């Protein structure tokens, strides 16, 4: 199974919209002007158990060793490569050591961009939108399916490693989308790429801009004007407000710039 098939198998029914929280800083405005998502390396994530390399094991069978070096080609002539393989077949513990070192490096090479299915969670606003002073952007995956090769995150308290030798892509994918149940409230979805950096998206997929309940009037006007100046024409703007009868947020649609306060 290849990486795209692993995505699709885990996706289920795609949501109508996915959301991403932002602090209003230079990175946000670069995202808008450059219309790209940033894929970060898992080693930088705030959860030390995220993308845990121990979720991958490696049983050094002959077939597994061949598959490993099919994706990581050996150097030298054909005869030299064949002799190297024979050496690993004779001493499989050596290749297991190489693989154990390699899997820890994966978290510095691959890139991940995180989304959520909800914009209503107050903890998400606090953690990822600078204490409710930022924004949440809503994207419509159906408008560009190839952009949003996103998968549900699997939340579990059962640590279940998978063998890289027999299910290479699936085992790798499982490592990238498995998290502790403590994070379940985030309702996360992930886009996984073969490298870190920019992942372009067409402007038409941005459909909602939701301001936090503490976003300043000046920031709201700046965001609105910046989006219009950069060609985002079909966007709905919403405002989060604190309810007076519960620990919940309400959201109202803003029809024009005069409603910003």
- Quick check: 23 pLDDT over 90? yes
Mean pLDDT within 168-173: 79
Q: Is residue 128 part of a domain?
A: yes
DSSP state of 48: T
Distance CA 113, CA 192 (A): 7
Q: What is the chain's mean pLDDT, rounded? A: 85
Torsion of CA 221, 223, 226, 230, to 10 degrees: -140
Q: Give the residue, 156 or 195, on which the prediction is more confident.
A: 156
Helices (H) and strands (E) in the chain, counts: 8, 14
Q: Is residue 98 part of a domain?
A: no
Separation of CA 195 from chain center: 12
Q: Is residue 99 part of a domain?
A: no
Domains: count for the chain = 1
Q: Is residue 84 part of a domain?
A: no
Q: Is residue 68 part of a domain?
A: no
Q: Is residue 129 part of a domain?
A: yes
Distance CA 245, CA 231 (A): 39
Q: What is the pTM of this model?
A: 0.83
Domain enclosing residue 25, as ranges: 3-52+108-259
The two tokens of residue 52 are 């845990």
């Amino acid at each position: 199974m290849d990486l795209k098939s692993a995505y699709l198998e885990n996706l289920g029914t795609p949501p109508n919209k996915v959301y991403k929280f932002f602090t209003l800083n230079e990175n946000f405005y670069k995202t808008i002007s450059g219309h790209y998502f940033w894929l970060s390396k898992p080693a930088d994530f705030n959860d030390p158990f995220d993308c845990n390399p121990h979720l991958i094991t490696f049983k050094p069978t002959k077939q597994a060793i061949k598959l490993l070096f099919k994706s990581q080609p050996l150097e030298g002539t054909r005869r030299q490569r064949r002799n190297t393989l024979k050496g690993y077949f004779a001493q499989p513990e050596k290749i297991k050591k190489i693989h154990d070192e390699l899997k820890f490096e994966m978290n510095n090479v691959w890139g991940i961009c995180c989304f959520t299915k909800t914009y209503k969670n107050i903890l998400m606003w606090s953690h990822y939108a600078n204490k409710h002073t930022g924004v949440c952007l809503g994207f419509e995956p159906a408008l560009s399916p190839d952009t949003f090769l996103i998968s549900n995150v699997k939340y579990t308290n059962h640590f279940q490693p998978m063998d890289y030798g027999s299910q290479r892509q699936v085992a790798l994918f499982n490592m990238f989308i498995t998290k502790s149940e403590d994070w379940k409230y985030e309702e996360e979805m992930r886009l996984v790429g073969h490298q870190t950096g920019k992942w372009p998206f067409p402007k038409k997929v941005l459909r909602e801009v939701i301001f936090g309940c503490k976003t300043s009037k000046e920031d709201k006007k700046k965001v609105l004007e910046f989006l219009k100046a950069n060609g985002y024409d079909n966007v709905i703007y919403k405002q989060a407000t604190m309810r007076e009868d519960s620990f919940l947020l309400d959201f109202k649609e803003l029809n024009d710039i005069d409603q910003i306060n």
